[in-house]
Amino acid sequence: MKTILAGAALLLSFNAFAAGNVDAGKAAAEKYNCFSCHGKDYNTPIDPTYPKLAGQHQDYLAVAMIAYKRGADGANGRGNAIMAAQVKPLSSKDIQDIAAYLSSLPGTLVLRK
């Protein structure tokens, strides 16, 4: 029974970490100047080819940042010199926190049929 309780506690603590902290994410997004390309509201990027981040799914944002960190040569990586440099100093916690913050913001993304 103790093993089951310990396992449940571990899973709960992992889920709390994986969820990210919105306030810490806001601070990290500001620290790393994410708004300089994606707009002050993270919904009006300076270039139309840059994605709108506000309101995106949290897991998508986290996976994208991890992929940029891996780079084009890494498994499931993405190649973009600007984003690679931006995410390089981020810890796993930073990534989860930033993703939580950005997903909490109102966005103008719409589904197209």
Per residue in 86-97, pLDDT (tens digit) is: 999 999 999 999
Please give the structure tokens belonging to residue 102.
């950005």
> Taking all residues of the chain, what is their mean pLDDT, rounded to a whole number?
85
Q: Say which residue the tokens 């709390």 belong to.
A: 16
Q: Minimum mean pLDDT among 19-33, 34-48, 72-86, 89-103: which range?
A: 72-86
Closest to 102 measured CA to CA, from 49, 63, 47, 46: 63
Per residue in 36-77, pLDDT (tens digit) is: 999 999 999 999 999 999 999 999 999 999 999 998 887 777
Q: Residues 25, 56: contact at Cβ < 8 Å?
A: no
Closest to 97 measured CA to CA, from 19, 35, 14: 19
Q: Which CATH number fits domain 2-104: 3.90.930.12, 1.10.3720.10, 1.20.210.10, 1.10.760.10?
A: 1.10.760.10
Residues 6+ apart with CB under 8 A from 88: 69
State the CB neighbour count (10 A cutoff) for residue 52.
19
